[in-house]
Amino acid sequence: MKRMTPLSSGEGALLYETLATRLAEAIDSGSVKAGERLPSVRTLSRQYGVSISTAVQAYRQLEDRRVIEARPKSGYFAAAVRPPLPEPRESKPPATARYVVTSQLFLEYFNILDRPDIVPLGALRPDPSLLPTRKLASLLGLAARRHADLAASYSASAGTERLRRAIARRAFDYGCSFHAADVVITDGCVDALNLCLRAVAKAGDTIALESPTYFVMLQMIESLGMKAFEIPTNPRTGLSLEAFEFATRRKGTVKALMLTPSFTNPTGALMPDGNRKALAELCEKRGIPIIEDDIYGDIWFGEARPLPVKAWDKTGNVLLCSSFSKTIAPGFRVGWAAPGRYRDAVAVLKRIGSLFTPPLPQLALAEFVETGGFDHHLRKLRKSLAERQQRLADLVAESFPKGTRMSRPSGGYVSWVELPGKADAVDLFRKARDQSILLAPGPLFTTTGRFKNAIRLNYGSHWSREMEQAILRIGRMASE
């Protein structure tokens, strides 16, 4: 390790934090190799011109962050590089549709979801500190002053023209050519999914889903008296096209397909472009509308934003749904649908459902999207999330039992973890709850009781020492 220049603490940072950052950079850049021995505390203190206690604190922080390891009586070493955990396996649901009857487990999960004292490792919620909160609040205040009349008026059910235009314009950049008039603004993405589902299917109809799938989709299907048909899904490439093709050979078996092709919840799978094109064509040919949840589409860590299946839709058969809840302002509850040929049906259902979505937050969002640096914000958000995913993966590799598998999505907010052997995720969920940690156990994501050994972990919530400790604790609990 080369001698470096003496330190002065950076803006807002304590001296030991600045030192820790400098050391971590040296390790990240490879100028200190994995497993290499680090200077003694005394040497470090001399090299950087800091006190012994500052050097100790820096090493402790790096140890907490798993960047270095302390070996008793030998000193500190750069952490060994671990090979990434293997991926979870493709799911194998039974090939039948069934009415959804959600279990007691759903109640248990939702009963603690909003507990203020709980560490939200099993929630899927963006960290407020990653969102442009002050800016949005100030834009809302501005909209309220400028358009006070909108507080006192009924608006059109489809939503504010300006925001619908902004959405259509952005969607054009990712391959979708619909217009403002094709968009219906909704109360978040969940409202959009509901409306689209009700526009294409009724009680008794069968809806095909990924497996595992977002539990609120299961609850929607249950509450509407529909049946769920879970389709085998690969944790990296998403819905199995072969299985879906097979399941839909008999006309009328499946009324609609609802899926999240980009960074699906809970596995984070990303469907390849070729599959998207083939899926759009197959569904069009078989008369099966696709309800596409693209809520994580903007949260990509790779080369470019994934194109929605909608980009291959030539006939209005894809009902694209999204929102601003995972990118800007969950508390505004503004989502949207571009429901293709079902646009009018969705607009009618929107009016019957809640008349219209409040216009003032829509104007604040339109302003932010058009002129507030949305793209700049997204770049920062993606970078933070990618880093946190890496950190989560390191901590899981460090603390979870041997044989654990874990998805490493190229976007989104969550990873899917499969525990080895006879691990019981529901039991783990309850034990974690006793320690004020929220987990999302696998059986929440199916109507068949499978995924008993899986949990969904979230790296997008507020990241803290408490969160890291919680991950390590879960790892230890899973190892017992």
The site for a copy of itself, by CB under 8 A, has a size of 60
> Rounded to the nearest 10 degrees, how much is the dihedral formed by the CA atoms of 121, 127, 130, 136?
160
Of 221 and 307, CB closest to a copy of itself: 221
37 forms part of the interface with a copy of itself (CB under 8 A): no
Is residue 268 helix, strand or coil? coil
The 331-370 site mask, x for binding a copy of itself (CB under 8 A), equals: xxx--------------xx-xxxxxxxxxxx---------
Q: List strand residue ranges (DSSP E) for 283-334, in order.
A: 290-293, 318-323
Of 72 and 116, CB closest to a copy of itself: 116
**Spatial distance between the Cα atoms of 152 and 139, rounded to a whole number of angstroms:** 19
116 CB burial (10 A radius; 0-12, 13-18, 19+) = exposed
Extract the tokens encoding 170: 């952005």
**Spatial distance between the Cα atoms of 463 and 460, rounded to a whole number of angstroms:** 7
467 CB burial (10 A radius; 0-12, 13-18, 19+) = buried
CB of 99: closest distance to a copy of itself in angstroms?
12
CB of 332: closest distance to a copy of itself in angstroms?
6
Site for a copy of itself in 153-192 (CB under 8 A): 153-156, 186-188, 190-191
CB of 335: closest distance to a copy of itself in angstroms?
8
CB of 225: closest distance to a copy of itself in angstroms?
5
140 forms part of the interface with a copy of itself (CB under 8 A): yes
Residues 6+ apart with CB under 8 A from 116: none
133 forms part of the interface with a copy of itself (CB under 8 A): yes
151 forms part of the interface with a copy of itself (CB under 8 A): yes
How far, in whole angstroms, is CA 401 from its chain's centroid?
24
Stretch that binds a copy of itself, among 118-126, 245-253, 259-267, 470-478 (CB under 8 A): 118-126
**Spatial distance between the Cα atoms of 253 and 433, rounded to a whole number of angstroms:** 40
Contact status, residue 452 vs residue 425, Cβ threshold 8 Å: yes
Site for a copy of itself in 199-218 (CB under 8 A): 202-204, 216
Q: Which one of residues 138, 390, 436, 464 is an interface residue with a copy of itself (CB under 8 A)?
A: 138
Contact status, residue 70 vs residue 76, Cβ threshold 8 Å: yes
**Spatial distance between the Cα atoms of 330 and 327, rounded to a whole number of angstroms:** 8
Q: Which one of residues 50, 67, 136, 259 is an interface residue with a copy of itself (CB under 8 A)?
A: 136
Residues 6+ apart with CB under 8 A from 80: 34, 35, 69
Extract the tokens encoding 344: 């009018």
234 forms part of the interface with a copy of itself (CB under 8 A): no
Contact status, residue 460 vs residue 411, Cβ threshold 8 Å: no
Q: Which one of residues 330, 384, 398, 401 is an interface residue with a copy of itself (CB under 8 A)?
A: 330
Residues 6+ apart with CB under 8 A from 167: 180, 183, 336, 338, 369
Of 194 and 399, CB closest to a copy of itself: 194
Of 7 and 348, CB closest to a copy of itself: 348
464 forms part of the interface with a copy of itself (CB under 8 A): no
CB of 9: closest distance to a copy of itself in angstroms?
29
CB of 293: closest distance to a copy of itself in angstroms?
14
196 forms part of the interface with a copy of itself (CB under 8 A): no
CA angle 277, 279, 280 (to 5 degrees): 65
CB of 7: closest distance to a copy of itself in angstroms?
35
479 forms part of the interface with a copy of itself (CB under 8 A): no
99 forms part of the interface with a copy of itself (CB under 8 A): no
The footprint of a copy of itself (CB under 8 A) covers 110, 114, 123, 125-126, 128, 131, 133-134, 136-138, 140-142, 144-145, 147-156, 186-188, 190-191, 194, 198, 202-204, 216, 219-220, 223, 225, 329-333, 348-349, 351-361
